[in-house]
Amino acid sequence: MLDTRFPRVVGDIGNPASFVMPVKHRVVAGASPQRVVRDGDPALLQPFIDAARVLVDEGAAAITTSCGFLVQFQQAMQAALPVPVWTSSLLKLPELGAPGVVTVDVLALGTAHLHAAGADASVPVTGLAAGCHLQRALLEDLPELDAARAEADVVDAAQRLVARWPAVREVVLECTNMPPYAKAVARATRRPVHHIISLLHERWNALGPSATAR
């Protein structure tokens, strides 16, 4: 988990009620949204690996992270850990026919993130409007969040995505704080919507009971 204070509503990766399986959360001290999203600070890799190792020692059968931008750590974290690692919803991209991405910050999400996910650099990407309510709440780590305004911000970004690239057939929400608004995005775009919670449930179920009986 990033080191944050903004609210974690149901559907957000930081809320245990978002999952059908039991989860444990561990905060990586100093991993601010600024350092992870906009700075892409490589010095955070080892702290994330260390936190994940603690969770594995406590019985975790799989590891995820609370920011899609951490896909850049996917390969290194998987190599360092004995359980499956799913850092980001962007890992879903190679499985989709014509995906597009909605991200928290379009200026920060680049080719390196798409390549780390195994996706083509040509995948269309649209971000939240600069300075909108949800972007400020997340990246500035504000203590309050208006769910209705946040939903409107995500829907707006998704509608801009499909308006600019009508060939997009599936929407992937990069941000782990966007799943609460996935249904609204699906209604507005008339397209399937994938996100970190749906990816985790798919991959968890695919492990089977023997793999998760730790």
8 A C-beta contact, residue 13 and residue 64? yes
Domain ranges of the chain: 16-87+198-212, 90-195
pLDDT at 113 over 80: yes
Q: What is the pLDDT of residues 82-111, one digit of tens each?
A: 999 999 999 999 999 999 999 999 999 999
pLDDT at 148 over 70: yes
pLDDT for res 211: 59
Question: pLDDT, tens digit, for every residue of 132-143?
Answer: 999 999 999 999
CATH topology of domain 90-195: Rossmann fold (3.40.50)
pLDDT at 141: 97
Can you give the pLDDT at residue 115?
A: 98
> At 136, which amino acid appears?
R
pLDDT at 31 over 90: yes
What pLDDT is attached to residue 208? 80
The DSSP line for 70-112 is GGGGHHHHHHH-SS-EE--GGGGGGG-SSEEEEES-TTT--HH
pLDDT tens digit string along 166-209? Answer: 999 999 999 999 999 999 999 999 999 999 999 999 999 999 87
Share the mean pLDDT of the chain: 96
Quote the pLDDT of residue 212.
58
Residue environment code for 78-116, b if the CB has 16+ CB neighbours within 10 A, otherwise e: eebbebebbbbbbbbbeebeebbbbbbbbebbeeebbeb
Residue 131 above 90 pLDDT? yes
Q: Is the pTM of this model over 0.85?
A: yes
Is the pLDDT reported for residue 25 higher than 60? yes
- Residue 51's Cβ-side half-sphere holds a number of Cα atoms within 13 Å equal to 21
Euclidean distance between CA atoms 176 and 114, whole angstroms: 16
At 213, the pLDDT band (50, 70, 90 cuts) reads low
